[in-house]
């Protein structure tokens, strides 16, 4: 009993230290994302990129991403959202809502979104509070609430929503949120890209550098954007470490612990795309075990040698094609 008490005390001490370090050592200010370039669509605005739907004289209205107040009260964070439009003239195949990862941005995955939109899908995306182009504090985001926010964005930006399957496509943290949606039967289809179903506690550059657990491009993808290949990452990594947002990090870890034990209904279809064993952010092998036990009807594919950001990896077109093939193979 004494050993158990001591062990619990040590765990509590580590948690308190981690949270206090993250809260004191890093600022959780607003994200510094760009306004959305073409072909992103959202709402017709006049002038200022962060909203202002009232006309401004002598300015031509533009179509760009939408900045929507979240919640109520005096301080309302602005959530950036929008969609890649389906190719004009192509048969419309449905809406896909993309849920991003920690430190990610909706602007950083244009190759994947372009591939799917060119083939008839409308790809909807949004930034969480405090990252990408959304304001507010990421510590106020609860991972388990993200599916409802995603459904809100589907209703806001989707086309003919009632007549098509609800499809979530999530990477990393967004993969975990999409898995939550699948367990709770809030969607019909999920595509989980290196999902955070079994996240590692030591990630990125690890504990040796500063900040600890730093998220860096070289730990996300093997791609070397040296000018010969266009870099799809339009927004910087922000936050740069889970310790910068300890409240969100705790929400992520606790949500993963809970939902690893829950079964996914057989009616919900899924594709799971696992990274290689050099991915420092998630445990691919344990994820395979969880999915095999709790969602045995899901299709599992593994991309050996890849790091975490599979859709922006070397030979990423194979990943894009696999997603399209999976979705195309679903029955109406």
Q: What is the pLDDT along the chain (332 residues), one digit of tens a residue?
A: 444 334 433 333 233 323 333 333 333 444 467 778 889 998 654 433 443 333 333 334 445 788 888 876 667 889 999 999 999 998 999 999 999 999 999 999 999 999 999 999 999 999 999 999 999 999 999 999 999 999 999 999 999 999 999 999 999 999 999 999 999 999 999 999 999 999 999 999 999 989 999 999 999 999 998 888 899 999 999 999 999 999 999 999 999 999 999 999 999 999 999 999 999 999 999 999 999 999 999 999 999 999 999 999 999 999 999 999 999 999 87
Secondary element (H or E) of residue 269 = strand 269-274
Q: What is the pLDDT of residues 175-212, one digit of tens each?
A: 999 999 999 999 999 999 999 999 999 999 999 989 99
| Both structure tokens of 141 | 């985001």
| Cα three-residue angle 307-80-34, rounded to 5 degrees | 70
Residue 43: the pLDDT is: 65
CB-neighbour burial class of residue 161 (10 A; exposed 0-12, middle 13-18, buried 19+): middle
Instruction: State the DSSP string of 15-46.
Output: HHHHHHHHHHHS------PPPPPTT-B-EEE-
Taking the C-alpha atoms of residue 241 and residue 249, their distance in angstroms, rounded to an integer, is 9
Any idea of the CA torsion for 322, 323, 329, 332, to the nearest 10 degrees?
Answer: -170
Taking the C-alpha atoms of residue 244 and residue 24, their distance in angstroms, rounded to an integer, is 9
C-alpha distances out from residue 304 to 49, 101, 236, 279, 314, Å: 41, 21, 27, 10, 11
For tokens 């605005």, the residue is 45
* Total residue count of the chain as it appears in this document: 332
Give alpha helix (H) positions in the chain. Answer: 2-25, 110-117, 146-157, 173-183, 217-220, 246-259, 284-294, 316-328
Q: How far is CA 254 from the centre of its chain?
A: 17
Q: What is the pLDDT of residues 109-144, one digit of tens each?
A: 999 999 999 999 999 999 999 999 999 999 999 999
Taking the C-alpha atoms of residue 275 and residue 188, their distance in angstroms, rounded to an integer, is 24
Which 3 state secondary structure label does DSSP give 164?
Answer: coil
Taking the C-alpha atoms of residue 115 and residue 136, their distance in angstroms, rounded to an integer, is 31
Residues sharing a CB contact under 8 Å with residue 146, sequence separation 6 or more, in sequence order: 99, 128, 174, 177, 180
Residue 75: the pLDDT is: 72
- On the CB side of 67, CA atoms within 13 Å amount to 21
For tokens 């989707």, the residue is 158
Contact 78, 51 (CB under 8 A): yes
Taking the C-alpha atoms of residue 114 and residue 108, their distance in angstroms, rounded to an integer, is 12
Alpha-carbon torsion (126, 131, 137, 139), positive or negative = positive
Specify whether the backbone of 187 is left (phi greater than 0), alpha (psi in -120 to 50) or beta: beta
Architecture of domain 2-38+66-328: 3-Layer(aba) Sandwich (3.40)
Q: What is the pTM of this model?
A: 0.87
Bridge partners for 75 per DSSP: none
């Amino acid at each position: 009993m004494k050993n158990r008490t001591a062990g619990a005390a040590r765990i509590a001490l580590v948690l308190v230290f981690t949270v206090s370090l993250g809260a004191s050592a890093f600022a959780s200010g607003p994200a510094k994302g760009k306004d959305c370039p073409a072909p992103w669509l959202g709402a017709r605005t006049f002038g200022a990129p962060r909203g202002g739907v009232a006309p401004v004289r002598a300015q031509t209205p533009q179509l760009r991403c939408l900045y929507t107040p979240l919640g109520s009260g005096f301080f309302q964070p602005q959530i950036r959202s929008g969609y890649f439009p389906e190719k004009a003239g192509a048969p419309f195949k449905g809406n896909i809502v993309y849920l991003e990862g920690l430190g990610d941005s909706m602007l950083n995955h244009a190759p994947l979104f372009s591939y799917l939109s060119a083939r008839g899908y409308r790809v909807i995306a949004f930034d969480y509070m405090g990252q990408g182009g959304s304001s507010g504090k990421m510590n106020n985001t609860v991972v388990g609430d993200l599916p409802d926010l995603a459904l809100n964005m589907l209703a806001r930006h989707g086309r003919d929503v009632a007549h098509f399957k609800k499809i979530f496509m999530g990477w990393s943290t967004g993969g975990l949120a999409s898995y939550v949606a699948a367990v709770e039967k809030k969607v019909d289809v999920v595509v989980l890209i290196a999902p955070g179903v079994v996240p590692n506690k030591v990630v990125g550059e690890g504990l040796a550098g500063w900040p600890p657990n730093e998220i860096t491009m070289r730990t996300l993808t093997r791609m070397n954007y040296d000018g010969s290949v266009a870099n799809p990452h339009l927004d910087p990594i922000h936050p740069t470490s889970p310790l910068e947002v300890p409240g969100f990090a705790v929400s992520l870890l606790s949500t993963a612990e809970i939902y690893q034990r829950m079964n996914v209904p057989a009616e919900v279809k899924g594709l799971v795309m696992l990274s290689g064993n050099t991915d420092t952010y998630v445990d691919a092998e344990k994820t395979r075990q969880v999915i095999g036990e709790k969602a045995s009807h899901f299709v599992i594919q593994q991309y050996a040698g890849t790091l975490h950001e599979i859709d922006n990896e070397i030979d990423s077109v194979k990943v894009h094609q696999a997603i399209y093939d999976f979705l195309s193979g679903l029955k109406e």
